[in-house]
Amino acid sequence: MLALAGRRVESFEGRLPDVLPLGLAEFIRELIVQGTNEGLDSARARGARLGRPPAMADEQVRHVRDLLTHPQNTVTLIAKRLGVSRNTVFKYVPELKGGRVVLAEATSTPELPRPTQPVE
């Protein structure tokens, strides 16, 4: 017969003091999970943005694209100026992965056709 601190643990009555707090803890955990999920659902219904905020605003991304048109500006320099990592710059300007040539082609505006000169 197994005895723990003077209790007989092979019977339910002997295990009850150990099982009761565990059951109560599990119940409380379920209440917390349920309340958290209800709060998240309520926030989504209100249109709240959940999760981590974006590292760069749209205006900053436009500024990065503008800075990248100047060859003396490196990605590292731009990232330091804006207080973000190089990876963040590459994430928000995916055209950079192909190099500056691809970026220049993606951001350049097409030239208008020039009027033809009469041939004499």
Same domain, 68 and 38: no
By C-alpha distance, which of 85, 92, 87 is closest to 64? 92
Residue 119 falls within a domain, yes or no? no
Instruction: Please give the pLDDT value at position 112.
Output: 46
Q: Which two tokens stand for residue 69?
A: 């048109």
Instruction: Please give the pLDDT value at position 82.
Output: 92
Three-state DSSP state, 120:
coil
Same domain, 37 and 64: no
Same domain, 102 and 64: yes
Same domain, 28 and 7: yes
Instruction: Please give the pLDDT value at position 62.
Output: 92
Instruction: Please give the pLDDT value at position 102.
Output: 55
Residue 116 falls within a domain, yes or no? no
Instruction: Look at the chain and report how many structural domains it folds into.
Output: 2
Spatial separation of the C-alpha atoms in residues 61 and 14, rounded to whole Å:
66
* Per-block mean pLDDT, blocks of 10 residues, the chain (120 long): 60 77 94 97 94 91 90 91 93 82 56 54
Where in the sequence is the domain holding 36, given as residue range(s)? Answer: 3-46
Instruction: Please give the pLDDT value at position 106.
Output: 57
Instruction: Please give the pLDDT value at position 91.
Output: 92
Same domain, 62 and 83: yes
By C-alpha distance, which of 75, 69, 74 is closest to 106? 69
Q: Which long-range contacts (CB under 8 A, 24 or more apart) does 45-54 make?
A: none
Beta strands in 53-115 (DSSP E): none
Which residue type does 49 have?
Answer: R
Instruction: Please give the pLDDT value at position 1.
Output: 43
